[in-house]
Amino acid sequence: MGTKLNHESLAELREIAARYPQPRSGLLPMLHLVQSVEGRITPEGIEACADVLGISAAEVSGVATFYTMYKRKPVGDYHVGVCTNTLCAVMGGDEIFARLKDHLDVGNDETTADGKVTLEHLECNAACDYAPVMMVNWEFVDNQTPESAVQLVDDLRAGNEVRSTRGPRICTWREAARVLAGFPDGRADEGPSAGPASLVGLGIATERGWSAPDADQTDQADGSTDHPVAEEAHQEAAATADAGTKEAEAAVVEKESPTTETAAEKGDAR
Amino acid sequence: MSSTATGSTDTLTPVLTSGWADERSWTLDAYARRGGYAALDKAFAMGPDAVIEAVKDSGLRGRGGAGFPTGMKWSFIPQDNPNPKYLVVNADESEPGTCKDIPLMMASPHTLVEGVILSSFAIRAHTAFIYIRGEVLHVIRRVQAAVAAAYAAGHLGRDIHGSGYDLDVVVHAGAGAYICGEETALLEGLEGRRGQPRLRPPFPAVAGLYASPTVINNVESISSVPSIIANGAEWFSSMGTEKSKGFGIFSLSGHVQRPGQYEAPLGITLRQLIDLAGGIREGHELKFWTPGGSSTPLLTAEHLDVPLDFEGVGAAGSMLGTRALQLFDETVCVVRAVLRWTEFYKHESCGKCTPCREGTWWLVQTLARLEKGQGSEADLDLLLDQCDNILGRSFCALGDGATSPISSSIKYFREEYLAHLTHGGCPFDPAASTAWSDRTVGATA
Ligand SMILES: Cc1cc2nc3c(=O)[nH]c(=O)nc-3n(C[C@H](O)[C@H](O)[C@H](O)COP(=O)(O)O)c2cc1C
Ligand code: SF4
Ligand code: FES
């Protein structure tokens, strides 16, 4: 299989290395770029990184094998992760993972015959308040059930547009890897500020009129900037807290919905 | 000046979280509307040493788990060292249960960026790095965009706000390794190597990134700095308890009615937090919980009134850690929970030292046997023995952390381990603990 790394990719590898005071610091993002071009870590990709950095291929290879996000085998268009660390596992992650293995007829870290979906169980992805958590191409898909998970992978395989519950339209795995390499895709403004669970405490504080003390009660220093909270924001947070996180489940994985509508807002509407 | 007002503070005190519900909260406009980046000019007028003093006076202690005083850490940077100084933000958030930095960076990345500028200025760094775990794509997008916007607005780059101070910030995506949250392993990752911890001393403050003086702080620690500079050290220390000052984000997950992020003064109790969260899920009761992630020893319903500050949780035999409160009700088998965490540590062990590399493998073997109802009561002593051989003998705190769930669960739930032996396997129904268990009507008691 020939490499897809062309002159442009090599220039981009050099560009990554140049972001750092010492070029070798660029190696992790450079390997992300290799994956975005090649679909995995290839021997050619390892050589290219080694050439750019002036280190041995063995050194690059040693790094590539250390980190779990780097894949030796080709990954499907959609990397589907199910968190099975303890909290998510007991909340249903184990059942979801078992159902997906069965439904897709693959084992852990395997890809469906159509090359669309690679299934992998994940460690805690820092979203435990949305358990059970799934990730598609490292975008959050919160509060899953076995049924919603099956729907999700079916939609991905059918080519339907799928949205992260706390993020944008889901792109391909290779496009995601390019962002990780430090080449933004212009989608930062898609998706909500926060999911409902992230706002629960803020909502309660707003309802009850709780806040941090005023700065001038504790400190006479001049020019101190209080960080005032806009009134509408307060109300919005309170409404979100009311809606609770249970409803969020229903808003999971929305298809063809306008980008500005958040899962939280959908929860409100119900 | 009024005296400190501990006790009269509200139960929840949103500061870091206060803007998260604002329209397009992640943008520079939204942050500026809240007074964002105003602390910069104040800090530039104060000078670096005064900023360090303010952070010292505030009593801020590291929010990444260990609770080391932040201002003191900064003052360890040898300013006579001719090498460049670096700030590295630890945004690797991977400790099981911990889920506060990620929503912070998604909803309000500019709070972090402003904190990075203030902190870098204080330690006289001209380059800062934000090392974000790679598995959170949208968070990385938001931080990349925030850094770009801050450059465009003149908050980063050359001669910031006409102060003569220069700062560059690089957003760096990791690639999947829990150990890279350990600060010296993180530096290895940031230097393009395998993420294996370094021998200390020398400490990073003296020889960190590129063997130069380096401060490494957690996202939440750095993000607390703008409010300290804006509102004053005394404002910050008016919240919290005697030795654990200020506010922190408490993350509730698991079998509670309203899991999520609750920002409160340090010292709040789990009982208060569960009350606010609407109680444990309907018809169930709390069985065990982690105060600060899976590496902090488990606590039980006996500990509901422990003040959640560094001293209180320590006195209860655990650690405040990252305030990652994972709550498990009586449907959860503690042996299953502990086995899963132990498999995690085994998987994430970097392999550098023998006690952890071999020890975590043995722990999994022994636990898995017990969980299947095989083995004997003597295996519990074997487990504790294996823990003894890891705790305090490992090269870094990952190995120590791996023993926490095991030794604490045997302490509180010895009978439950034994029940696996008498029952010939796990006596629990895993379906009863799922988020949808109430849908299988009548199936569970
Ligand atoms: C195995 C391991 C994982 C860690 N993971 C993190 C992490 O994800 N984020 C973090 O801020 N600190 C983590 N730490 C703690 C860091 O080593 C370090 O203490 C911290 O970043 C210092 O920042 P602070 O003083 O602001 O808390 C970890 C430590 C260990 C031993
Ligand atoms: S304790 Fe574990 S993670 Fe830490 S250095 Fe040793 S092998 Fe690596
Ligand atoms: S345990 Fe699944 S996201 Fe934390």
Per-residue tokens: B19: 């803007």
Q: Alpha-carbon distance A111 to B284, whole Å? A: 39
Query: Which of B182, B184, B98 is closest to B398 using CA atoms?
Result: B182
pLDDT tens across the length of chain B (445 residues) = 333 344 579 999 999 999 999 999 999 999 999 999 999 999 999 999 999 999 999 999 999 999 999 999 999 999 999 999 999 999 999 999 999 999 999 999 999 999 999 999 999 999 999 999 999 999 999 999 999 999 999 999 999 999 999 999 999 999 999 999 999 999 999 999 999 999 999 999 999 999 999 999 999 999 999 999 999 999 999 999 999 999 999 999 999 999 999 999 999 999 999 999 999 999 999 999 999 999 999 999 999 999 999 999 999 999 999 999 999 999 999 999 999 999 999 999 999 999 999 999 999 999 999 999 999 999 999 999 999 999 999 999 999 999 999 999 999 999 999 999 999 999 999 999 999 998 754 444 3
Per DSSP bridges, beta strands A139-141 and B324-329 are: unpaired
Contacts of A224 in chain B (CB under 8 A): 42, 230-232, 235
A217/B2 CB distance under 8 A: yes
* DSSP assignment letter at B61: B
Q: Alpha-carbon distance B221 to B72, whole Å? A: 13
Q: Considering the entire predicted model, what is its pTM?
A: 0.92
- Ligand closest to B394 (CA) is 2
B433/A91 CB distance under 8 A: yes
Pocket lining: B183 vs ligand 1, CB cutoff 6 Å: yes
A66/B344 CB distance under 8 A: no
A150 in contact with chain B, both atoms CB, cutoff 8 A: no
Q: Alpha-carbon distance B202 to A149, whole Å? A: 48
What is the SS3 assignment for A201?
helix
Q: Alpha-carbon distance B25 to B3, whole Å? A: 34
Using the mean position of ligand 1's atoms as its centre, give its distance from the Cα of residue B149 in Å. 28
What is the SS3 assignment for B263?
strand
Query: Which of B309, B293, B313 is closest to B245 using CA atoms?
Result: B309
Rounded to a whole number of angstroms, the distance from the CA of B18 to the nearest CA of chain A is: 6
Using the mean position of ligand 3's atoms as its centre, give its distance from the Cα of residue A90 in Å. 10
Which of A201, A210, A249 is opposite residue B261, by nearest beta carbon?
A201
Per-residue tokens: B194: 């395998």
**Residue B90: φ, ψ to 5°:** -85, 100
Query: Which of A246, A266, A85 is closest to B282 using CA atoms?
Result: A246
Using the mean position of ligand 1's atoms as its centre, give its distance from the Cα of residue A63 in Å. 21
Q: Give the tens place of pLDDT for each residue, A200-223.
A: 999 999 999 999 999 876 644 444
Pocket lining: B350 vs ligand 2, CB cutoff 6 Å: yes
Are the C-beta atoms of residues A166 and B138 closer than 8 Å to each other?
yes
Q: What is the 3-state secondary structure (H, E, C) of B237-256?
A: HCCECCCCECEEEEEEEECE
Q: Alpha-carbon distance A195 to A237, whole Å? A: 11
Cross-strand partners of B261: B251
Q: Alpha-carbon distance B174 to B243, whole Å? A: 34
Contacts of A99 in chain B (CB under 8 A): none
Contacts of A232 in chain B (CB under 8 A): 23
Q: Tell me which amino acid residue A150 is.
A: V
A86/B42 CB distance under 8 A: no
Q: Alpha-carbon distance B414 to B406, whole Å? A: 10
- Ligand closest to B135 (CA) is 3
Are the C-beta atoms of residues B62 and B323 closer than 8 Å to each other?
no
Pocket lining: B352 vs ligand 2, CB cutoff 6 Å: yes
**Ramachandran category for residue A54: left, alpha or beta (phi over 0 → left; psi -120 to 50 → alpha):** left
How many other CB atoms sit within 10 Å of the CB of residue B439? 9
Contacts of A225 in chain B (CB under 8 A): 35, 38-39, 42, 230-231
Q: Alpha-carbon distance B239 to B246, whole Å? A: 5
B22/A179 CB distance under 8 A: no
A179/B141 CB distance under 8 A: yes
Q: Alpha-carbon distance B273 to B154, whole Å? A: 41
Pocket lining: B356 vs ligand 2, CB cutoff 6 Å: yes
Q: Alpha-carbon distance A67 to B272, whole Å? A: 40
Q: Give the tens place of pLDDT for each residue, B276-317.
A: 999 999 999 999 999 999 999 999 999 999 999 999 999 999
Q: Give the tens place of pLDDT for each residue, B323-369.
A: 999 999 999 999 999 999 999 999 999 999 999 999 999 999 999 99
- In chain A, the residue whose alpha carbon lies closest to the alpha carbon of B174 is A28
Length of chain B: 445
Q: Tokens 């991905």 — which residue? A: A156
Rounded to a whole number of angstroms, the distance from the CA of B289 to the nearest CA of chain A is: 10
Q: Which residues numbered 147-186 in B keep a CB inside 8 Å of some CB on A?
A: 148, 170-178
Sequence-ordered list of residues with C-beta below 8 angstroms from that of B439, at least 6 positions apart, any chain: none
DSSP assignment of B325-359 equals EEEEETTS-HHHHHHHHHHHHHHH--SSSHHHHHH
A137 in contact with chain B, both atoms CB, cutoff 8 A: yes
Interface residue of B20, B129, B276 to substitute, partner A, most A CBs within 10 Å: B20
- Ligand closest to B254 (CA) is 3
**Ramachandran category for residue A224: left, alpha or beta (phi over 0 → left; psi -120 to 50 → alpha):** beta
